[in-house]
Amino acid sequence: MHNHFSKKIISCAGLALLFSASVAMGSSLENLAKSLAKIRGEVETLQTQLDTEKDRHGSRMSALNSQLADLSVEERRQKLSIEKLQHSIDKMTESAKKVEQSGETLKPVLLAVLAEYKRHIQTGFPFKMEDRIKAINNLETNITNQLIDPNKAVNQAWSLIEDEIRLGKENGIYQQTILLNGESILVDIAKLGTVLLFFQTRDNRGGMARRSAESSWKFETVDNAGDLERIRNLFDSLKKQIRQGYFELPNPLRK
């Protein structure tokens, strides 16, 4: 009987141990499930963040491609305008070589080409427009008053066109008087070909020339701290003779 009672005690102890093990295992599984749920939640959060960053990157790349397309269109516009002027000069030069033209015959042709050149400047890239127009006016006056030989006038007109072509290939810093908020002020200009033009004032304002819907250009300051820093970096690089490379700049063609 004693042995039988001992067996019952042992059996109860075994059940107790089994029950404790089951409880412990259940608690462990519950903790594991919680851990897995937490990890799954973190993975889903990271995946959401990754998807968001992908969308953001895609949007940024799309915007940059759009801005690049805008700049390419503007560059083509300037090149076509200059090519048109170059064609006019070539045609006029060819005509002058083929026939002996008097000054009076050649004069209206020359004046027509110079008038077209002047329109190109007045509606085109706003770089030292007054100086460029003054050079045309002086040549027009000399032709009208017969103060210059017609053939020499052709050479001078061609020289002006060559200067215009060279503008589209040069980057650099210059000084220019611009109209800013109704006031004429002297500023430093950073010119990139005949597509982009940025400026800095003596009182540390920065800005750019922006083409309006009417195809005219207007000088505007920028208020964004990031854009101001980008303009400063461009001026610093050009002053150090760094004229090629990667520059992140405000887009004056962006609406």
Domain ranges of the chain: 74-167, 171-239
Q: Edge-to-edge, what's the strand order for the sheet holding 171-180?
A: 171-180, 183-192, 196-200, 206-211, 217-221
Residues 172 and 237: beta-carbon distance below 8 Å: no
pLDDT one-digit tens code per residue, 43-72: 777 777 777 777 776 666 665 565 556 556
- CA distances to 12, 17, 31 from 22, rounded to whole Å, are 15, 9, 14
Helix (H) or strand (E) holding 207: strand 206-211
| pLDDT value of residue 183 | 92
pLDDT in tens, 179-218: 998 899 999 999 988 888 999 999 989 999 988 766 678 9
Burial call 227-237: b when 16+ CB within 10 Å, e when fewer: bbebbeebbeb
Instruction: Round to whole Å and give the CA distance between 91 and 130.
Output: 27
